[in-house]
Amino acid sequence: MKKILTVVKYNFIIIYYMNNNKIKIGLLHAPPLIYKDIMNNNTGYEHAILKEFIKEHNIDAELIYLKRKKGEIKTYNDYVDDVVKGKYDIIIGNITQNVERNEKINFSRPLFFDITSIFYEKPSSLSSNFYVNIFISIIQFLIVALLFGVFIAYIHNITSPKKTPFIESFSSVMSVLLGGTRSALVEKKLSGSWIYIFSRIAIIFIAALFTLQLSAIITSERLADITKDLPFGKYDDLQNKHILVFKNTSDSDTLKSLQDKYNLKITELDENYDPETISKYYEKFKKEYNIDGFFMSSEIFTYYNNSLYNKGAIIFRKSVGGAAFNKKHTKLLEQFNETLFKLRKKNYIFENCQTYFKDPRNVCLQ
């Protein structure tokens, strides 16, 4: 009887120990990395990877969904400090690496790229000047091609052993310059003096090269016309702009570091870090408050239907993110990275990324 009681007591101690040593994992609300679906279930790109880790290593985990309440002042760095203090063993959900955080916690192998950008409303249509410039470019091309054609036709005419009318030489040259597939310049069999043969080949080569070069110049000029007036192509475009950003985030800190230099006006949104929230606010108040754009992580915004918005060319911050572990959990970190390695070998990471992102190539690290 005493032996049975001892065994029962021992088993109770083990069960009690296990229940009080669940791995507490904080899930930071950051769609589409971590979020709730319509059935209020946890889901997302990083959540799917976390599930595989828990399943493979039979982790006794307590998942704690973390969504900042309106008016609550809590930053990502505060959540990192919670891991340091032992409130959570792991946190996951758009946690990016930097020097300060690497000193406090251990990061898993990277799960995603983090590129911060300014988004703004797409112009409804191209300006009339764009079409005028295209017409001018066509006229310029034809004039230059005509003058060059006369010069090449003259050379062709005087080097030809036959008494070819100048108009025929000119027609043949212009056919090559304008991309014609058949021309009197190209014969099935070249005959005559070596000067004539060489000049014929040289004319064809120079004419084709000229056409390609001129077309490339005109195309690049028109592309420049399209992009030169777009906002946020370079840092100087920030001058006197009004930008919307989430409060108490590294995004806000980044903009504030540029505020004095470019005379930026910054409006901070005291809401959860969510692309739908910030884009709706931008649409509602952009005219009333003259808001030029909003600022957030590109990889978060790409999952949202952003067909109405352009992304500025300025890259403010480029880093990688992953799961963050308390430094005492080195074994757990090794197991997580082991799972990650196996998932990458099976191409699971990229396939999972395609589920949540429209363009996984610029977001997920396969």
Measured on CA atoms in the order 190, 196, 198, 200, is the torsion positive or negative? negative
Q: In 3D, which of 254, 237, 325, 328 has the Cα closest to residue 296? A: 254
Indicate whether 120 belongs to any domain. no
**Reported confidence tier of residue 348, pLDDT bands at 50, 70, 90:** very high
**Looking at per-residue confidence, does 7 or 193 come out higher?**
193
Question: Residue 167 and residue 312: Cα distance in Å, rounded?
Answer: 52
Looking at the domain assignment, is residue 31 inside a domain? yes
Residue 154 and residue 223 share a domain: yes
Of 103-107, 335-339, 353-357, minimum mean pLDDT range: 353-357
Domain boundary among 228, 248, 275: 228
Are 243 and 298 members of one domain?
Answer: yes
How far apart, in whole angstroms, are the C-alpha atoms of residue 327 and residue 106? 6
Q: Provide mean pLDDT across the span 314-327.
A: 87
In a domain, 72, yes or no: yes
Number of domains in the chain: 3
- Dump pLDDT digits (tens) for 44-54: 999 999 999 99
- Please identify, among 317, 334, 352, the residue that sits at the C-terminal boundary of a domain: 317
Question: In this structure, are 162 and 72 located in the same domain?
Answer: no
The helix/strand/coil state of 305 is coil
User: Which residues span the domain enclosing 27?
Assistant: 2-111+322-362
> Do 135 and 224 fall within a single domain?
yes
Query: Highest mean pLDDT: which of 33-47, 181-195, 231-245?
Result: 33-47
Question: Do residues 62 and 135 both lie within one domain?
Answer: no
- Domain assignment present for 123: no
| 255-to-19, 167, 239, 351 alpha-carbon distances in Å | 45, 65, 12, 34
**Whether residue 152 sits in one domain with residue 103:** no
Distance CA 301, CA 296 (A): 7
Which of the pair, 136 or 82, is modelled with greater confidence? 82
pLDDT band for position 185 (cuts 50, 70, 90): very low
Contacts of 137 (CB under 8 A, 6+ apart): 218, 221, 222
pLDDT for 58 beyond 90: yes
Average pLDDT of the segment spanning 123-134: 63
* pLDDT for res 1: 45
159 by DSSP, 3-state: which?
helix
Q: Is 329 within 8 Å of 142 (Cβ atoms)?
A: no
Specify whether 205 is located in the same domain as 296.
no
Question: Average per-residue pLDDT in the chain?
Answer: 77
Indicate whether 118 belongs to any domain: no
> Tens of pLDDT along 234-287?
888 899 999 999 887 778 888 888 999 999 999 998 777 777 788 888 888 888
Residue that terminates a domain, selected from 317, 337, 352: 317
The domain spanning residue 331 has which CATH number? 3.40.190.10
pTM to 2 decimals? Answer: 0.61
More confident of the two residues 360 and 130: 360
More confident residue, 340 or 254: 340
Residues 198-234 pLDDT 10s: 555 666 666 666 666 666 665 665 555 555 556 788 8
Do 15 and 106 have their domain in common? yes
In a domain, residue 116? The reply is no
Band (3; pLDDT cuts 50, 70, 90): very low
Average pLDDT estimate for 19-30: 85
Reduced to 3 states (helix: H, G, I; strand: E, B; else coil), residue 364 is strand
**Do 105 and 157 belong together in one domain?**
no
| Residue 71 DSSP one-character state | T
Q: Are residues 61 and 37 in the same domain?
A: yes
288: CATH: 3.40.190
pLDDT at 187 over 60: no
Higher pLDDT, 55 or 129: 55
CA 175 to mean position of chain CA atoms: 43
**Which own/partner contact pairs does 48-53 have at CB distance under 8 Å and 24+ positions apart?**
48/352, 48/355, 49/111, 49/339, 49/340, 49/343, 49/349, 49/352, 50/25, 50/92, 50/323, 52/339, 52/343, 52/348, 53/335, 53/336, 53/339, 53/340
- Per-residue pLDDT for 135 more than 80? no
Residues 9 and 107 in one domain: yes
Same domain, 152 and 168: yes
